[in-house]
Amino acid sequence: MIIRVASILLIVLLYGCEKPSREDCIVKVSLNWSIENEMQRTKVINEFSSIIDEYVFPDPNANLAGYVFNNEHREMYFQFSSSCDAKTNYVRNMFDEALAPILKDNSEYLVSSEPVKPGHKTIMLEGGAWRD
């Protein structure tokens, strides 16, 4: 009986501790820029990046592993290494709280909840935080 309970507990612990896939941890944000001048857009992006780099998520378990701009700065991809089930809310809150004032007159944004596959056109962080 004890061996049976221990076996069940071991299975539950192993299954419960499975690492997420990278796809489970990626969020896409689409940016619709109203700035046509590339130099002005770059200035906003630099300010934007500084805020993201300094941003502290309210949840201490949220760990942003990295982010990239793609497609002529019209898309951003964020990849988390923990608490991936809340990734969309983390990114949405960061935009609403910290980034919206910068984007107010410069760009509209849409945080997607659709799955994103890692790759050259999105984000390709790898490491021990993910199972793939």
pLDDT for res 50: 95
Residue range 106-116, pLDDT digits in tens: 899 999 999 99
What is the residue extent of each domain of the chain?
A: 19-111
Residue range 8-59, pLDDT digits in tens: 444 434 445 689 999 999 999 999 999 888 899 899 999 989 999 999 999 9
Closest CA to 112 of 20, 35, 31: 31
Closest CA to 33 of 80, 60, 71: 71
Q: What fold is seen in the domain 19-111? A: Alpha-Beta Plaits (3.30.70)
- Most confident region among 2-6, 70-74, 122-126 by mean pLDDT: 122-126
pLDDT for res 24: 97
- Greatest Cα pair distance, the chain, in angstroms, is 72
Residue range 58-113, pLDDT digits in tens: 999 999 999 999 988 899 999 999 999 999 999 999 999 999 988 888 899 999 99
3-state SS class at 47: helix
3-state SS class at 111: strand
